[in-house]
C-alpha cells in the first residue's frame, strides 16, 4: 500500500501538509545531539523494572552496566532520586538471580546530599529487610566508603592527617547513619559488622590519612553502637599493634654523628658506662625545645620537631594521638572521638582550645597534669584533679580496655607504644593502677593455667609500670614488691621441701626468675625513695632481698646482666645484699647446656623478658605521656667505677648476647647507653628490640 492514497483519504491532512510530508527527504539527517545528552536520554528511557526484567531473562550484564555507569558519572540529583525510588519499589525482584545488579548499583555514590543519603538509606533498609543475605554486601560497600581516596604526592595530608572538611564530615556521618540503621533493622548482622570493620581496615602500610579517618569513623561508630565498643576497640588496637611491631626502635631514634667522639671522651675521663646504665635520657630529647604560648582562647605548645621520617612511625604517632585524645574525652564525659593535632611545616603545634562549661569553668586539657601537694614528685591525674571526670564512663572504659589489653596487647611481646593507652588512662585516674596491678598479678602471673608467655609479660608489665608510672605512690610500690617477694619466698620454701627440682634451671623455674628480675629492676629504679630515711630503709630490709639472691636457684645468673649489675651496686651501697661473690662464682661455672626446640644448644641463657614502658619515642603524641613518665635518677653518686666490680661490661655482654647477632644497644630497660664502641644487637627472641 502506497503512502499517497492513504494521505488523500485522510480529511485531516491539508494539501500543503501533504506536499510537505511527501517532499520531505527520507534520508535527511536529524540535528546533532551531544553524547552526554544521549546518555541522559538513555538513562531516562530505561526504568529499573525494565532493566531488572531484561537481565533476569537474558543474564546479560550489558543491560545495566552502561546505565549505572552513566548514573555514576553524569547522573543528576533528580536522576539518582528517581532510580533509588524505582529500585526501592522493585525490591521484590532483586532476589539472588539479580545479585549482580545490586552489587553494581551499590557502587554508585549516592551520599552527595542529605536527601540522596536518606533515599539511599531507605533503599538499603528495604533491601536487607526483604533479602537479609544482602546485608553483608551492603555493609561491606558502606565500610569501603569510609576510607578516603588520597594522593600520595600530596604532602599536606601528612601534616593534616585525619582532618576532614565539613562536606566530608557530613558524607561520613551519613554513611555511619546508614550502617547503624541496618544494624538496628537486622540485629543478627552484629557479628558480621565487626568482621567487615576488621576486613575493611586499611593495610598497615597504607597512607596515614586513610588510617586516621577510618579509625575516627570506628570511634564514632562506638558512640552509636556502645555494645560493640569492645570489638571495635580490638580492631583499632590490633591494627595499631601490627604497625607497632613492624617498627624497629632504631628507626624512631635520631642518630648522632658524634657517637664515637662521645665514647672516646668517656673513656678518657675514666667514667664507667655501667655507672650510667640506667640513664634514660633519650637522644631526641636534647633536640626538643618546648615553648608555650598563651592567649585568651587557647594554649599552643610548639616544638622543633617536624613529621617523623619513618612512614609507619608517623602513622602510629597520629593514631596514638587520636586514641589518647579519645581516652581523655571519654573520661571527661565527651563522646566525640579525638582529632589529631595539626602539624605545621616548621614546628609541631598542639592546640588545646578552651571550651567553657555550663558553670563558666574551662574544660580540662588533654595532656595536662596535676602534681601532688606533698613532697613527692608524683602526678595525681590531669589538671582538673578528677573534678570533671565521668566516673561511670571511666569504669566502663577501664573494664573494656582491660579486656582488650588481655586479648591483644598482653599477647604481643615486642610492642613499644600501643600499651601506653592504658598507661595514660591509669595516669588520669591513678586509683585504677592498684586494680590493674592486682589483675596482672593474681589473674595472670599467679594463675598456673596461663601460658608461660602470658605470665612473663604480666610480670614485665607490673615491673615496668611500678618503675615508670610517676602517678604510682611509693606505698603502692612497696606493697606490690612485698607481695612479689612473699610469693618468691613461698616458692623457694616449696622447692626446699620437695628437693627434687631445687637447682638452677631456666626452663623449670621461669616464673620465679621473672619475679626476681622484676624485683631487682623496680628496686634499682626507685631505690632513692627506699633510702631517703631510716624508716623507709627498714622497709627495704623487710623485703628480704638477700633471700632472693642467696639460694640454689641462683637468679643472679639467669636475670639480664645489666639489671643484675646495677642491682648489685645499689644493694652493696646500702648493705641490703651481697651479690659480687655469687656473680664471681657464676663467671667460673662451665658453659651450660640447654634444650631449645628439641635439640641441644650450648651457650649462656638469660631471661627473654622485656619492659613494655620503655621510653616513648613517638614525637607528636609524646606530650600526652611525658609528664606522667618517670626517668631514672641514676646510681648512687659515691659508687666509683672500680669499686668491687667483678663483672665488666664486655663479660656481662657475653651473657645475654645472641650468638647469631653482632649489634647490641640499650633499647631495653634498664638503660640505653651502649657498652661497646662497635654496634651490637640482641635477638628479639630475648625480648630486646634493636636500636
CA 337/CA 328 separation, integer angstroms: 9
Residue 616 cell numbers, joined: 616513648
Give Cα separations from 546 to 505, 542, 567 (angstroms). 20, 10, 12
- Give the range among 100-104, 375-379, 634-638, 643-647 with minimum mean pLDDT: 643-647
The pLDDT > 90 percentage for the chain reads 47
Residue 13 has pLDDT above 70, yes or no: no
Strand, helix or coil for residue 629:
strand
Q: 594-608 in b/e burial notation, b at 16+ Cβ within 10 A?
A: eeeeeeeeeebbbbb
Q: Where is pLDDT greater, at 154 or 347? A: 154
Packing angle, helices 190-199 and 166-185, rounded to 10: 140
Q: Which of 630, 444, 454 is nearest to 529 (CA)?
A: 630
∠ CA 464-370-299, rounded to 5°: 110
Mean pLDDT (whole number) for 413-439: 94
How far apart are alpha carbons 453 and 561 in whole angstroms?
21
CA 148 to chain centre: 20
When the pLDDT of each residue in the chain is averaged and rounded to a whole number, the result is 77
pLDDT exceeds 60 at position 318: yes
pLDDT tops 60 at residue 15: no
Give the three cell numbers for residue 623. 606530650
Tell me the mean pLDDT in the region 350-376.
Answer: 60
How high is the pLDDT of residue 475? 94
Strands of 291-294's sheet in order across: 291-294, 298-303, 348-353
**Average pLDDT of span 284-292:** 39
* pLDDT over 70 (residue 304): no
Q: What average pLDDT score do residues 607-632 get?
A: 89
Q: What is the rounded CA–CA span in Å between residue 84 and residue 62?
A: 20
- Tell me, what DSSP letter sits at residue 132? G
Pairwise CA distance, residues 547 & 488, whole Å: 9
pLDDT at 141: 92
pLDDT range class, residue 514, cuts 50, 70, 90: very high
Supply the pTM of this predicted model.
0.78
Q: How confident is the model at residue 290 (pLDDT cuts 50, 70, 90)?
A: very low
pLDDT grade for 255, boundaries at 50, 70 and 90 = low
Q: What confidence score (pLDDT) does residue 386 get? A: 86
Q: Is the pLDDT of residue 677 over 60?
A: no
d(CA 667, CA 249): 7
- State residue 467's pLDDT score: 95
Peptide bond into 670 cis (omega under 30): yes
Amino acid at each position: 500500500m502506497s503512502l499517497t492514497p492513504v494521505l488523500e483519504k485522510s480529511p485531516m491532512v491539508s494539501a500543503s501538509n501533504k506536499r510537505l510530508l511527501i517532499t520531505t527527504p527520507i534520508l535527511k539527517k536529524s540535528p546533532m545531539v551531544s553524547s552526554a545528552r544521549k546518555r541522559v536520554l538513555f538513562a531516562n528511557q530505561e526504568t529499573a523494572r525494565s532493566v531488572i526484567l531484561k537481565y533476569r531473562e537474558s543474564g546479560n550484564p550489558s543491560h545495566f552496566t552502561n546505565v549505572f555507569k552513566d548514573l555514576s558519572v553524569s547522573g543528576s540529583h533528580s536522576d539518582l532520586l528517581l532510580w533509588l525510588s524505582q529500585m526501592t519499589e522493585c525490591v521484590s525482584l532483586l532476589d539472588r538471580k539479580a545479585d549482580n545488579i545490586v552489587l553494581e548499583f551499590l557502587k554508585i555514590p549516592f551520599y552527595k546530599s542529605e536527601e540522596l543519603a536518606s533515599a539511599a538509606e531507605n533503599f538499603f533498609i528495604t533491601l536487607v529487610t526483604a533479602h537479609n543475605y544482602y546485608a553483608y554486601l551492603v555493609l561491606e560497600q558502606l565500610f569501603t566508603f569510609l576510607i578516603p581516596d588520597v594522593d600520595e604526592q600530596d604532602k599536606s595530608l601528612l601534616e593534616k592527617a585525619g582532618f576532614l572538611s565539613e562536606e566530608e564530615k557530613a558524607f561520613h556521618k551519613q554513611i555511619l547513619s546508614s550502617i547503624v540503621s541496618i544494624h538496628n533493622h537486622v540485629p543478627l548482622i552484629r557479628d558480621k559488622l565487626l568482621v567487615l570493620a576488621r576486613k575493611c581496615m586499611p593495610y598497615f602500610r597504607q597512607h596515614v590519612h586513610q588510617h586516621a579517618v577510618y579509625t575516627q569513623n570506628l570511634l564514632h561508630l562506638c558512640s552509636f553502637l556502645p555494645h560493640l565498643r569492645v570489638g571495635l576497640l580490638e580492631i583499632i588496637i590490633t591494627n595499631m599493634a601490627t604497625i607497632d611491631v613492624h617498627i624497629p626502635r632504631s628507626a624512631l631514634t635520631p642518630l648522632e654523628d658524634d657517637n664515637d667522639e662521645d665514647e672516646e671522651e668517656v673513656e678518657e675521663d675514666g667514667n664507667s658506662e655501667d655507672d650510667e646504665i640506667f640513664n634514660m635520657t633519650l637522644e631526641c630529647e636534647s633536640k626538643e625545645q618546648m615553648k608555650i604560648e598563651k592567649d585568651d582562647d587557647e594554649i599552643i605548645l610548639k616544638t622543633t620537631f617536624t613529621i617523623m621520617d619513618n612512614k609507619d612511625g608517623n602513622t602510629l604517632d597520629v593514631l596514638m594521638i587520636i586514641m589518647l585524645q579519645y581516652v581523655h574525652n571519654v573520661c571527661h564525659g565527651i563522646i566525640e572521638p579525638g582529632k589529631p593535632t595539626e602539624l605545621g611545616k616548621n614546628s609541631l603545634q598542639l592546640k588545646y582550645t578552651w571550651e567553657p562549661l555550663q558553670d563558666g569553668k574551662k574544660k580540662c586539657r588533654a595532656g595536662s597534669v596535676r602534681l601532688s601537694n606533698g613532697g613527692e614528685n608524683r602526678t595525681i591525674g590531669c589538671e582538673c584533679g578528677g573534678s570533671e571526670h565521668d566516673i561511670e564512663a571511666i569504669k566502663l572504659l577501664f573494664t573494656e580496655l582491660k579486656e582488650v589489653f588481655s586479648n591483644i596487647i598482653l599477647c604481643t611481646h615486642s610492642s613499644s607504644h600501643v600499651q601506653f593507652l592504658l598507661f595514660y588512662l591509669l595516669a588520669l585516674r591513678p586509683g585504677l593502677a592498684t586494680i590493674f596491678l592486682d589483675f596482672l598479678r593474681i589473674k595472670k602471673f599467679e594463675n598456673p593455667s596461663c601460658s608461660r608467655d602470658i605470665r612473663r609479660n604480666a610480670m614485665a608489665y607490673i615491673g615496668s609500670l611500678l618503675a615508670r608510672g610517676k602517678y604510682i605512690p611509693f606505698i603502692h610500690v612497696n606493697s606490690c614488691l612485698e607481695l612479689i617477694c612473699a610469693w618468691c619466698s613461698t616458692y623457694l620454701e616449696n622447692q626446699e621441701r620437695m628437693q627434687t627440682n631445687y637447682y638452677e634451671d631456666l626452663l623449670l623455674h621461669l616464673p620465679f626468675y621473672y619475679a626476681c628480675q622484676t624485683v631487682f629492676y623496680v628496686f634499682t629504679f626507685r631505690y632513692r625513695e627506699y633510702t631517703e630515711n631510716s624508716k623507709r630503709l627498714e622497709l627495704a630490709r623487710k623485703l628480704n632481698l638477700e633471700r632472693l639472691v642467696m639460694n640454689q636457684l641462683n637468679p643472679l645468673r639467669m636475670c639480664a646482666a645489666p639489671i643484675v649489675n646495677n642491682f648489685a651496686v645499689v644493694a652493696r651501697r646500702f648493705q641490703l645484699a651481697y651479690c659480687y661473690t655469687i656473680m664471681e662464682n657464676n663467671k667460673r661455672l662451665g658453659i651450660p647446656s640447654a634444650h631449645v626446640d628439641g635439640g641441644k644448644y650450648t651457650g649462656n641463657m638469660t631471661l627473654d623478658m622485656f619492659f613494655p614502658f620503655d621510653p616513648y619515642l613517638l614525637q607528636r603524641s609524646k606530650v600526652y605521656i611525658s609528664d606522667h613518665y618517670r626517668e631514672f635518677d641514676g646510681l648512687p653518686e659515691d659508687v666509683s667505677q672500680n669499686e668491687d666490680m667483678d663483672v665488666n661490661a664486655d663479660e656481662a655482654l657475653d651473657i645475654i648476647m645472641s650468638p647469631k647477632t653482632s649489634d647490641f644497644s640499650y633499647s631495653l630497660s634498664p638503660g640505653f647507653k651502649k657498652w661497646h664502641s662497635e654496634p651490637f644487637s640482641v635477638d628479639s627472641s630475648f625480648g630486646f628490640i634493636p636500636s
